[in-house]
Amino acid sequence: MNKIKIRKLDENYMVWNASDIIELRNKHRIVGSLIGCLPRIPRQNQQLGRPLLLLREEAALLIKRDICQVLKEISEPTNPDDKEIEEFKIKRDQLYHEQNILAKEDRLKELEKLRPRIYEGMKRKAKKDSNISSEKLEENVNEKMKNLEKRIDNLPESAQMLQIPTACTRLIEAPEEINTVAITDKLDETKIRVFEDLHDRGYFLTNGSKFGGDFLVYPGDPCRYHSHYVVICLENHAKISPQQFSTYSRLATIVKKTILLSYLKDDYTVHYISLNWAGIS
């Protein structure tokens, strides 16, 4: 089985291949967030495209499950040598030749659609000369069509479409393979363990920063469901003031979700405390 390739640039884990992005979402319940602009409508941020930026917790889970291969991207590739430039020119000429053939085929189809009109026009002119037979008229139409075909020009090079790669097509050196996500502190470890635990329970998880948490938890695909929980990860034995409890509870009420305070116990099992604001009557 081919592993999904993840490119690591600095501390960012990105997926460029479209089929890999679909597989991550449909098969592994990994959502991530698209951060690239769309080529046809680049000056907007309502709809974004590749690459898919993964959370560190998502990358850690994929590495642990041996689903992906993380490669360290070269941030500053060297300039191409003469051989690579020549290969690029050959590929560009090949693409132009293929597009030129397709353009001529499209033009011929357009001309073929004009055949009935050309036939009717020549037929009206032929009425003045009663000696022209239908066979001769058909020959004249075919000859006219051939002359028009000869006048079809090649596709202008300025109109050639070029393929724009969405990932590095040339690796200057063998990329460094990464087998783990670095854990910086206890809180970082807690986030990774909590993400894994909730993912194993069948939930979809995304970044929860827009709701003041670490993760948002969905019962199904975020395209179809609203999130039910806002997860806030804490270190074990962390002290929470009454003001913080009030803040978390108020937050849950405003966004109509349940707050999950998550932490690792001394035996490294994940525990949760749920908060909801309840009025007193």
Q: DSSP for 56-74?
A: HHHHHHHHHTT-EEEEE--
199: annotated active-site residue:
no
pLDDT at 168: 60
Same domain, 175 and 277: no
pLDDT at 255: 86
Name the DSSP letter for residue 209.
G
pLDDT at 154: 87
Same domain, 103 and 174: no
Same domain, 145 and 280: no
Same domain, 59 and 176: yes
CA distances from 78 to 72, 170, 171, 172 (A): 16, 10, 10, 7
Q: Which of 72, 226, 265, 271 is catalytic?
A: 226
pLDDT at 276: 73
For 4, phi then psi, to 5°, come to -70, 130
Residue 155 to residue 166: CA distance in whole angstroms? 26
Instruction: Tell me which residue of 189, 221, 185, 215 sits closest to 202, measured CA to CA.
Output: 221
226: annotated active-site residue:
yes
Same domain, 95 and 148: yes
Same domain, 133 and 101: yes
Same domain, 106 and 69: no
For 128, phi then psi, to 5°, come to -70, -25
Same domain, 140 and 199: no
- Domain count of the fold of the chain: 3
| Residue type at 159 in one-letter notation | A
Q: At what angle do helices 186-200 and 56-64 cross, to 10 degrees?
A: 60
Tens digit of each residue's pLDDT (9 = 90 or more) over 228-240 = 999 999 998 888 8
Percent of the chain with pLDDT over 70: 90
Same domain, 153 and 176: no
pLDDT at 233: 95
97: annotated active-site residue:
no
**Domain region containing 93:** 82-159
Same domain, 96 and 221: no
Q: What is the CATH number of the domain that holds 212?
A: 3.40.1350.10
Tens digit of each residue's pLDDT (9 = 90 or more) over 14-64 = 999 999 999 999 999 999 999 988 877 888 888 898 899 999 999 999 999
Q: Which of 151, 182, 213 is the last residue of a domain?
A: 182
Same domain, 62 and 195: no
Q: Which of 8, 191, 199, 257 is catalytic?
A: 257
Tens digit of each residue's pLDDT (9 = 90 or more) over 163-208 = 776 666 655 455 667 788 888 889 999 999 999 999 999 999 999 9
pLDDT at 73: 66
pLDDT at 238: 85
Same domain, 172 and 70: yes
Residue 194 to residue 201: CA distance in whole angstroms? 11
Q: Which of 218, 229, 248, 263 is catalytic?
A: 218
Mean pLDDT of 105-132: 81
Tens digit of each residue's pLDDT (9 = 90 or more) over 136-173 = 778 888 888 888 888 888 888 888 887 776 666 655 45
